[in-house]
Amino acid sequence: MRRLATRLPRGWRAVAWVGVLVGVAAALSSLPPITIRSPVVPVVIGLFAFTVGLGSWIRGERRIGGYAMAAGVIGLLIGYLATRSSVGNLETVVVWGALLGAALRYATPLLFASLGGLFSERSGVVNIGLEGMMLIGAFFAVWGADVGGHWTLGLLIGVAAGGLTGLLHAFFSITLRADQIVGGTAINLIALGLTSYLFLRIYGNEGTPTGISEIPNVSIGFLDETPGIGGFLDDALGDQNLLIWAAFVLVLAVWIVVFKTPVGLRIRSVGEHPRAADTVGINVYLTRYGAVTLSGMLAAAGGAYLSLGALATFDQNITAGKGFIALAALIFGNWRPFGAAAACLLFGVSGALATALQTYSTSASYLFEALPYALTLVAVAGVIGRSIPPAAVGKPYVKQ
Amino acid sequence: MTVTQVESPPPGAPDAATPESRWLERLDGVLAPIITVLLAFLISGVVVYLTTRDLGDTLETYRAIFRGSGLSWFFELGGHDIGVPFSDARVWFPWETDDIASLAAANLQQTLIGWTALVLVGLAVAFAFRCGLFNIGGQGQYIAGSTAAILVATELPDLVDLPRVLLIVVTILAGMLAGAFVAGIAGFLKGTVGAHEVITTIMLNWIVLWVATYLFAVDGPFQTEEGGGAVPSSADVPEKAKLPVFWGDPLLQGLHIGLFVALASLVVYAFLLNRTTLGYEVRAVGFNPDAARYGGISVARNYFLAMAISGTFAGLAGALDSLGWQFRLDQTTIQGTTIGFTGIAVALLGRNTAVGVGLAALLFAALETGTASRNLDPEIFPPDLASSLAIIIQGLVVLFVGAQFVILLLLRRARTRSAAGST
């Protein structure tokens, strides 16, 4: 308990965090269940959050201060827009439990791919082929479940196919020392072509058959009975896919592996300074091979969730850019497991809102889709805390 | 992150630059891409073979793709005639230019329309490469260009009163500017805060894609009902703003004059890089930014300029496609294009030279037209698989180009071995 207390933010950092919370409150003030109708309230609260953020930014707390400023502006905008809309509309779009549930469903494939990318990039290999690896996983999972008859087999085959794709990327970027971005682009193209080809060849125009064994949902009945927030909990977590729960566990597991075990230390050291790692006897090539292969497997699991978990079908280009959002989340989260998870969740909320908005304005929901990318662009631009990649990322290592 | 130095010799190259070895190096520069392409076709041939289960049909599929690309037109010699421009006279010509009489001519027109855009997007990637930047944003810059051109052509009614040439020039300039703006953001961020251009251009791709989708979506600000299609789209480009067609029927997607713009752009590219101070500085930064900075060249300025010029090329491609044959934009077109990634393949395969980009663009444009489903016989190869096959081939080319120095190394080793054998 005391250890925890020492880790709590202090000084201007704590002030900045308060600013972030106030910014969120600006948006909440005019959303259900509070629904204040006067636009003055969210604007004032939002501006206050911005000022607090700016204050701590000036005093040197750049990162969290930047977050507070962003939260203030976004909260102000959302709050203001909400006061312009009717309460009835708001109450149908903003059902918190359902939104959180949808956000989790949206975030899960991103999370798998993002954590996969984390291994690869932490070991020093850029992986913009995440999109392709997800696509491979998505197709082979459905195919495996169809041929093998059970979703466990499908998941295994999907993950294995993703591992092979990762291995291909590893071979070209580590052994052949090909440019890693070129290799990743190639992986994306080949995966898109190959999965479309096989899909049309095997399933033709009818698509994948119905009744494929799906990854099951975990239904938790008693959540409903929680006093006060029973409905909310039930909507959010009552009937979620097994892989969503697996994703929660995975974040913790990845954090432990990367930061608390010798293996993780090795992975990070070959990504920061391969020569030094080599000198102390770490096998740079083997470590990188392992990390990149693992990244393929994890990304494929994310793809498998998309096809076998969420829809039980496959369609051409089913990932539609999710691999790139996962990459964005990894960068936004500063190459850290919890950071990436938070980014995935944030992107998940924006994705869920976009879907919910679709009932009222299709076009506005498309603008929402651009939000994750815009936020990441702002983040790498250094406006809100600089994203710093591993030092040796993208550089092939030549053993001496 | 390092970008492949496609120009620099691979490790193990002989240092002595005798005229002979330099000549051999150039030969390798030609041979390596050819081997790359052959390898890609060979491996995708395995995929085709597994589909058709017959070697004859595999070869026949490739032959059909070649025929469908219209490149066979050049081999169909005979006694025909062709109209002399600005007159009614007709003179003898070795090829049949009438696209109704010759299917190859019609296909060739489509290939060249595709070539026009691919050359420009290829140049967009190549120019950035020469400055040491990897422009993955060709996609977004292209969409920005076509969106801007469409908006200027359809949403500014006063412009239609302009003379035709001026109207078209203004519209195309808008597209180029939009492309330059989008790419310029990435260049600016690279130059000032050091944000990696691969990440920023990927983000910009998706931002542009969703904003453009928003503009023309249902109840979006520029969506028009009169389009008449099932998909919500922009208004149609007015007749006056469409690019003149010089070969084929304007109503049946004939070849527009954008072809000459693309040809001119190749020349501009080579001139800009090799004969101007700007090009010298861009190449110096691309070769070694630290040395360039030491030599008094502003690296940040060149990053920005190189990206903006890259974006100009890609935006031009988008504008030409919009005014040349698409005439309107909708969600499917915006989200369906993969031209930015093909552009990467073009630049890599063409080794970032003007001639190389021109040839590589021809290969990929031909592949695209040749695998259009109408050109394939269902008896031999299922036509709906063909476009996926084209993407696989593209991907394999990119993969092998990435590892091209291995091919160069093998070439060199083979040569030393044969030299050792002959003495």
What local confidence, expressed as pLDDT, does residue B168 receive? Answer: 93
A267: tokens are 């992975």
Collect all residues of chain A within an 8 Å Cβ-Cβ radius of residue B223. Answer: 363
B264: tokens are 């001119």
What local confidence, expressed as pLDDT, does residue A32 receive? Answer: 76
Dist. CA A299–CA A133, nearest whole Å: 6
Q: Give CA separation, A166 vs A169, A285, A295, A318, in Å.
A: 5, 14, 7, 19
- Subunit contact B189:A393, Cβ cutoff 8 A: no
Distance from CA of A308 to the nearest CA of B (A): 22
- Subunit contact A183:B402, Cβ cutoff 8 A: yes
Nearest residue of B to residue A124, measured between CA atoms: B1
The yes-or-no verdict on residue B236 having pLDDT over 90 is no
Dist. CA B155–CA B241, nearest whole Å: 12
User: What is the average per-residue pLDDT within B294-316?
Assistant: 95
The beta-carbon neighbor of A328 closest among B203, B213, B385 is B203
Distance from CA of A265 to the nearest CA of B (A): 22
- Subunit contact A376:B203, Cβ cutoff 8 A: yes
3-state secondary structure of A217: strand
User: What is the average per-residue pLDDT within B4-25?
Assistant: 55
- Subunit contact A201:B220, Cβ cutoff 8 A: no
Q: Give CA separation, A297 vs A139, A141, A257, B269, in Å.
A: 13, 12, 16, 42
Collect all residues of chain A within an 8 Å Cβ-Cβ radius of residue B403. Answer: 172, 176, 178
Evaluate whether B362 touches B161 at the Cβ level (below 8 Å).
no
The beta-carbon neighbor of B388 closest among A188, A196, A205 is A196
- Subunit contact B344:A185, Cβ cutoff 8 A: yes
- Range with the poorest average pLDDT among A378-392, B91-105, B112-126, B312-326: A378-392
Collect all residues of chain B within an 8 Å Cβ-Cβ radius of residue A370. Answer: 206-207, 209-211, 214
Helix (H) or strand (E) holding A155: helix A151-170
* Cα angle, residue B184 at apex, residues B181 and B186 outer, rounded to 5°: 125
Cis preceding-peptide flag for A33 (omega within 30 of 0): yes
- Subunit contact B207:A373, Cβ cutoff 8 A: yes
B90 — phi, psi (to 5°)? -125, 140
pTM equals 0.86
Q: Which residues of chain A have pLDDT under 70?
A: 1-7, 223, 228, 230, 382-387
- Subunit contact B217:A363, Cβ cutoff 8 A: yes
Collect all residues of chain B within an 8 Å Cβ-Cβ radius of residue A362. Answer: 217-220
What local confidence, expressed as pLDDT, does residue B33 receive? Answer: 85
- Structural Rg of chain B based on CA atoms: 23
- Subunit contact A189:B1, Cβ cutoff 8 A: no
Distance from CA of A375 to the nearest CA of B (A): 9
What local confidence, expressed as pLDDT, does residue B11 receive? Answer: 43
Collect all residues of chain A within an 8 Å Cβ-Cβ radius of residue B396. Answer: 186, 190
Provide the angle, in degrees to the nearest 10, between the axes of the packed helices B103-130 and B354-370: 140
What is the number of other CB atoms lying within 10 angstroms of the CB of residue B195?
Answer: 23
- Cα pseudo-dihedral B90, B93, B99, B103, rounded to 10: 160
* Cα angle, residue B185 at apex, residues B233 and B394 outer, rounded to 5°: 65
Most B CBs within 10 A among A189, A332, A378, hence the mutation to make, goes to A189
Evaluate whether B296 touches B289 at the Cβ level (below 8 Å).
no
* Cα angle, residue B409 at apex, residues B406 and B410 outer, rounded to 5°: 90
Collect all residues of chain A within an 8 Å Cβ-Cβ radius of residue B399. Answer: 172, 178, 182-183, 186-187, 190
Evaluate whether B321 touches B315 at the Cβ level (below 8 Å).
no
Task: Choose among A262, A254, A237: nearest CA to A298.
Answer: A254
* Strand A239-241, strand A217-219: pairing: antiparallel
Collect all residues of chain B within an 8 Å Cβ-Cβ radius of residue A194. Answer: 47, 388, 392
B255: tokens are 């070849």
Collect all residues of chain A within an 8 Å Cβ-Cβ radius of residue B348. Answer: 182
What local confidence, expressed as pLDDT, does residue B140 receive? Answer: 95
- Subunit contact B395:A192, Cβ cutoff 8 A: yes
* Strand B80-83, strand B90-93: pairing: antiparallel
Q: Which amino acid is at B142?
A: Y
Nearest residue of B to residue A198, measured between CA atoms: B385
Distance from CA of B73 to the nearest CA of A (A): 28
- Subunit contact A324:B206, Cβ cutoff 8 A: yes
Higher-confidence residue: A147 or B83? A147
Task: Choose among A287, A260, A257: nearest CA to A271.
Answer: A287
Distance from CA of B82 to the nearest CA of A (A): 41
Collect all residues of chain B within an 8 Å Cβ-Cβ radius of residue A324. Answer: 202, 206
Collect all residues of chain B within an 8 Å Cβ-Cβ radius of residue A325. Answer: 206
- Range with the poorest average pLDDT among A257-261, B10-14, B313-317: B10-14
CA B54 to chain centre: 33
The yes-or-no verdict on residue B321 having pLDDT over 70 is yes
Evaluate whether B175 touches B145 at the Cβ level (below 8 Å).
yes
Number of H helices, E strands in chain B: 15, 4
What local confidence, expressed as pLDDT, does residue B230 receive? Answer: 66
Most A CBs within 10 A among B391, B397, B407, hence the mutation to make, goes to B391
Provide the percentage of residues in chain B whose pLDDT is more than 90. Answer: 38
Question: What are the DSSP calls for A284-305, one per residue?
Answer: HHHHHHHHHHHHHHHHHHHHHI
Q: Give CA separation, A390 vs A17, A252, B263, B347, in Å.
A: 26, 21, 42, 28
- The half-sphere exposure of B156 on its side-chain side, counting CA atoms within 13 A, is 16
Q: Give CA separation, B7 vs A11, B10, B26, B38, B405, in Å.
A: 53, 9, 10, 21, 10
- Subunit contact A373:B203, Cβ cutoff 8 A: yes
Output DSSP code: residue B330: B
Locate tokens 């999109």: which residue?
A: A131
A269: tokens are 């050291």
Q: Which of A70-79, B142-151, B229-238 has the highest mean pLDDT?
A: B142-151
- For chain B, how far is it from start to end, CA to CA, in angstroms? 44
Q: Which amino acid is at A212?
A: I
Evaluate whether A82 touches A42 at the Cβ level (below 8 Å).
yes
- Subunit contact B189:A381, Cβ cutoff 8 A: yes
The yes-or-no verdict on residue B63 having pLDDT over 80 is yes
What local confidence, expressed as pLDDT, does residue B343 receive? Answer: 93
Nearest residue of A to residue B209, measured between CA atoms: A370
Distance from CA of A126 to the nearest CA of B (A): 8
What local confidence, expressed as pLDDT, does residue B2 receive? Answer: 42
Dist. CA A70–CA A23, nearest whole Å: 8
Distance from CA of A131 to the nearest CA of B (A): 12
- Subunit contact B217:A362, Cβ cutoff 8 A: yes
The beta-carbon neighbor of B210 closest among A193, A324, A369 is A369
Distance from CA of B174 to the nearest CA of A (A): 23
The beta-carbon neighbor of A197 closest among B210, B388, B402 is B388
Locate tokens 């994948």: which residue?
A: A208
B299: tokens are 């690296």
- Subunit contact A180:B1, Cβ cutoff 8 A: yes
Q: Where are the alpha helices (DSSP H) in B53-158?
A: 55-68, 103-130, 138-155
- Subunit contact A186:B396, Cβ cutoff 8 A: yes
Nearest residue of A to residue B48, measured between CA atoms: A197
Most B CBs within 10 A among A182, A331, A347, hence the mutation to make, goes to A182
- Subunit contact A178:B4, Cβ cutoff 8 A: yes
What local confidence, expressed as pLDDT, does residue B6 receive? Answer: 41
Evaluate whether A123 touches A282 at the Cβ level (below 8 Å).
no
Distance from CA of A342 to the nearest CA of B (A): 19
Dist. CA B195–CA A248, nearest whole Å: 31
- Subunit contact B203:A181, Cβ cutoff 8 A: no
Locate tokens 């801007």: which residue?
A: B148
Nearest residue of B to residue A189, measured between CA atoms: B395
Nearest residue of A to residue B40, measured between CA atoms: A190
- Subunit contact A194:B392, Cβ cutoff 8 A: yes
CA B313 to chain centre: 10
Q: Give A26's contacts (C-beta < 8 A, 6+ positions apart).
A: A42, A43, A45, A46, A48, A49, A71, A72, A75, A76, A78, A79
What local confidence, expressed as pLDDT, does residue B3 receive? Answer: 44
- Name the band, by pLDDT with cuts 50, 70 and 90, for residue B354: very high
Evaluate whether B167 touches B240 at the Cβ level (below 8 Å).
yes
Collect all residues of chain A within an 8 Å Cβ-Cβ radius of residue B336. Answer: none
Q: Give B165's contacts (C-beta < 8 A, 6+ positions apart).
A: none
